[in-house]
């Protein structure tokens, strides 16, 4: 405190703040804070202030406390944020405690794991306990093995946790997501959805459940229309290696369009325009046989489509 008094006294004597802060080894922000405390509270403002909280959390009602602990026992991996969302849904007429209050309650009852000084390895989220069929489904790739044709097989399984019933075991050639999505789409059509898509709040949804946010699309799926190019000279299907074959000429295009029909039209002598659906993509000539893409395929069109 003596140093602070000297600091204030010399400041009152007119010494520049920058010089004083440099001499006392503090930042200018700290210097102004010390001087403002003196102006507001006098010498008492220069003493160390207590860091004890001014307010303490109120004791939770017995019903709320008991319900909170029961939810934690039912869902051991849930934290204070998810549990608070459940309290909001359960108790509508009382003030719901803050997340910190809920966390403190869980800590007092031994539900909070104390972190050590060293970082632990990441662990997977424990499965919630599925008591009845369709409350929880489990899915996994059951390893991989080499087939006689020297290609690997990746068996994807989906089971019901409560009954251990095997919904499907699909032999896939890859772990790519589109293959797994096709399996789940077919399975959902046959078996319906797991019951808990509607129960667990998600932090990314502001603690709402997916079923609270999702609404079915009013736009029906009718498949892709047949693609034709009445204003072009030819319709050509792009090869699996991403080329356009025009006679014996092969033009490097893109594997993205493999298997898709594109329209080509000779707009000038030996200069061809390539279009896909409503978009003009670029030009090529039969000499270089390389596509020159348009700078903006979504800009004005060369041909009326």
User: What would the pLDDT profile of 186-215 be if each residue is shown by its tens digit?
Assistant: 888 888 877 657 566 666 666 777 667 666
Task: Return the pLDDT at 125.
Answer: 53
Long-range interactions of 64-70: CB distance < 8 A, separation 24+: 64/91, 64/94, 64/96, 64/97, 65/105, 67/91, 68/102, 68/105, 68/106, 69/105, 69/106, 69/109, 69/111
For the chain, give every domain's residue range: 2-46, 62-108, 137-213, 234-293
Least confident interval from 99-103, 180-184, 185-189, 244-248? 99-103
**Token pair listed for 183:** 């399996």
Average pLDDT score, the chain: 78
Task: State the average pLDDT over residues 133-161.
Answer: 86
pLDDT at residue 305 above 50?
no
Least confident interval from 39-48, 176-185, 209-218? 209-218
pLDDT at residue 122 above 80?
no
Categorize the per-residue pLDDT at 164 as very low, low, confident or very high, splitting at 50, 70 and 90. confident
Cα–Cα distance between 122 and 117 in angstroms, integer? 15
Task: Return the pLDDT at 146.
Answer: 87
**8 neighbors 36 (Cβ within 8 angstroms):** no
Cα–Cα distance between 275 and 126 in angstroms, integer? 51
pLDDT top residue among 128 and 5: 5
Fold assignment, 62-108: Arc Repressor Mutant, subunit A (1.10.10)
Residues 240-297 have pLDDT tens digits of 989 999 888 898 888 888 888 999 988 877 788 899 988 888 888 887 787 878 766 6
> What percentage of residues in the chain have a pLDDT greater than 70?
78
Cα–Cα distance between 157 and 162 in angstroms, integer? 15
Check: pTM over 0.75? Answer yes or no. no
Residues 52-86 have pLDDT tens digits of 544 444 456 778 888 899 999 999 988 888 888 88
């Amino acid at each position: 405190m003596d140093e602070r008094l000297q600091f204030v006294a010399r400041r009152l004597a007119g010494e520049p703040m920058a010089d004083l802060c440099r001499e006392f080894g503090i930042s200018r922000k700290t210097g102004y804070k010390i001087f403002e405390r003196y102006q507001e509270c006098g010498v008492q403002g220069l003493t160390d202030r207590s860091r004890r909280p001014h307010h303490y959390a109120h004791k939770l009602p017995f019903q709320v406390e008991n319900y909170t602990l029961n939810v934690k026992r039912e869902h051991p991996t849930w934290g204070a944020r998810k549990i608070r969302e459940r309290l909001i849904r359960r108790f509508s007429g009382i003030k719901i405690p803050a997340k910190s209050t809920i966390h403190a309650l869980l800590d007092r009852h031994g539900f909070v794991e104390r972190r050590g000084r060293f970082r632990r390895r990441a662990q997977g989220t424990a499965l919630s306990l599925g008591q009845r069929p369709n409350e929880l489904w489990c899915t996994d790739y059951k390893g991989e093995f080499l087939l006689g044709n020297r290609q690997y097989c990746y068996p994807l399984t989906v089971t019901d946790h409560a009954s251990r019933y095997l919904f499907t075991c699909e032999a896939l050639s890859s772990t790519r997501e589109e293959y797994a999505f096709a399996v789940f789409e077919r399975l959902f059509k046959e078996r319906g959805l797991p019951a808990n898509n509607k129960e667990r709040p998600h932090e990314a949804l502001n603690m709402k459940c997916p079923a609270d946010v999702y609404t079915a699309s009013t736009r029906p799926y009718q498949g892709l229309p047949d693609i034709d190019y009445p204003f072009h000279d030819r319709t050509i299907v792009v090869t699996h290696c991403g080329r356009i074959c025009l006679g014996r000429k092969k033009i490097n295009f893109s594997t993205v369009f493999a298997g898709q029909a594109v329209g080509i039209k000779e707009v000038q002598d030996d200069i061809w325009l390539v279009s896909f659906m409503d978009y003009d993509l670029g030009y090529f000539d039969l000499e270089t046989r390389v596509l020159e893409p348009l700078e903006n395929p979504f800009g004005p069109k060369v041909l009326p489509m």
